[in-house]
């Protein structure tokens, strides 16, 4: 029994499709926030996550697109937020705004907590170097996103994992990232898969989004 762990899809439909095609048969999906932002397929990606029945939490881009401007975006990210607001429907805006910042669920014998940044701090960047057993409470697996940097650490208390960025990796590897959770043992495996980066770059340019968003995809930064 397996659960797909993903994060930071960031409106990158070809990357999400590549991950879905690469997955084995799974029994559920977890998405640790930021369905939208940066890339040019926001409505498609939200629709896909909802159709999958993924357990979602709210990322800072999700929150911003839904109308909360409390996170301080740089100009490029801010332009993408404004573009996204104009390219999703009202139902999607409501859905993004209603997402919880943290969720706990159980898959088989494994208790899972999902956050975007860190427990109790949804906007905190928690890199793999910052992982520690103190992040864990009662859960067996803590799933985090936000940094777009894939990593995991196993402790006596459980596993801390960032499955990495599906739609905009930032660890020097441009391939879409995801992880698999064995819901009986609590073990987590990290995976990468190639996707047609040039296709997304072309669409970014057609959409009039900042050129830097296209360039960073091929560099994984």
Would you kindly state where each structural domain of the chain is located, as residue ranges? 2-219
Does the pLDDT of residue 187 top 70, yes or no?
yes
The whole-number average pLDDT for the span 150-174 is: 97
- Within 8 A by CB and 6+ apart from 83, the residues are 207, 208, 209
The whole-number average pLDDT for the span 103-116 is: 96
| Residue corresponding to tokens 């397996």 | 2
Does the pLDDT of residue 73 top 80, yes or no?
no
Q: What confidence tier does 72 reach under pLDDT thresholds 50, 70, 90?
A: low
Instruction: Look up the CATH superfamily of 2-219.
Output: Metallo-dependent phosphatases (3.60.21.10)
Tokens standing for residue 61: 């881009």
How much is the pLDDT for 71?
67
Return d(Cα 203, Cα 199) in angstroms, integer: 6
Do β-strands 110-115 and 176-182 pair in parallel, antiparallel, or remain unpaired? unpaired
Return d(Cα 197, Cα 218) in angstroms, integer: 7
Burial class of residue 160 in the structure, from the number of CB atoms within 10 Å of its CB (0-12 exposed, 13-18 middle, 19+ buried): buried
Model confidence, pTM: 0.95
Return d(Cα 59, Cα 71) in angstroms, integer: 10
Over the chain, what is the mean pLDDT?
A: 96
Does the pLDDT of residue 181 top 80, yes or no?
yes
The whole-number average pLDDT for the span 92-101 is: 97
Does the pLDDT of residue 70 top 80, yes or no?
no
């Amino acid at each position: 029994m397996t659960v797909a762990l993903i994060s930071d899809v960031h409106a990158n439909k070809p990357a999400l499709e590549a991950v879905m095609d690469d997955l084995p048969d799974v029994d559920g999906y977890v998405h640790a926030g930021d369905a939208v932002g940066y890339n040019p397929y926001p409505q498609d990606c939200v629709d896909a996550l909802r159709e999958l029945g993924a357990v979602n939490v709210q990322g800072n881009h999700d929150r911003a697109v839904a109308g909360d401007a409390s996170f301080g975006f740089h100009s490029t990210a801010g332009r993408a937020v404004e573009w996204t607001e104009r390219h999703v429907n009202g139902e999607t805006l409501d859905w993004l705004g209603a997402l919880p910042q943290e969720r706990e669920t159980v898959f088989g014998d494994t208790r899972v907590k999902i956050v975007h940044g860190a427990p109790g701090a949804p906007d905190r960047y928690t890199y793999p170097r910052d992982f520690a057993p103190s992040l864990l409470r009662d859960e067996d697996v803590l799933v985090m996103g936000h940094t777009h940097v894939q990593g995991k650490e196993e402790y006596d208390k459980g596993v801390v994992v960032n499955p990495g960025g599906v739609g905009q990796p930032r660890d020097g590897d441009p391939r879409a990232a995801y992880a698999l959770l064995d819901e009986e043992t609590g073990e987590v495996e990290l995976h990468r898969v190639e996707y047609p980066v040039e296709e997304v770059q072309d669409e970014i340019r057609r959409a009039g989004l900042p050129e830097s968003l296209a360039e960073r995809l091929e560099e994984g930064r």
